[in-house]
Amino acid sequence: MTARIETTRDTNTVAVMPAGISVGSVTSTTLLTTTISTSRVALTNNGNQDAHIKFQAASIDDDKKSIILHKGSSADVMLSPNNYIGEISAIAVNGSTTIYVMSY
């Protein structure tokens, strides 16, 4: 389920937050695919395992490398003015965890 959250009634800025995405430690999982209009991504690790956040397609590899998002923590990634257009994926360090993603 996806919720649309409007920032104000006077603008067209809309944040989209899908339900939590389950991420395991064996295979990378796609979190979202950014577009030219994606300027910011907020990630929250709501599980009990650390996860690696990767700026590449989940199908590229399952190596546990890149930005680590510790269990119970959040990260706010600014993509502009140098927009990253492509897939953001994740893999858990051990077991599984749940990642919430908010894109703007």
In this structure, which amino acid lies at residue 32? L
Q: What is the pLDDT of residues 72-91, one digit of tens each?
A: 999 999 987 778 899 999 99
pTM over 0.85: no
Q: What percentage of the chain reaches a pLDDT higher than 90?
A: 68
HSE, CB side, 13 Å, CA atoms: give it for residue 5: 11
Sequence-distant (6+) residues with CB within 8 A of 58 are: 27, 28, 29, 30, 87, 89
CATH architecture of the region 18-103: Sandwich (2.60)
Give Cα 67 to chain centroid, integer Å: 11
- Our CA dihedral for 47, 16, 6, 4, rounded to 10 degrees, sits at -100
pLDDT at 5: 53
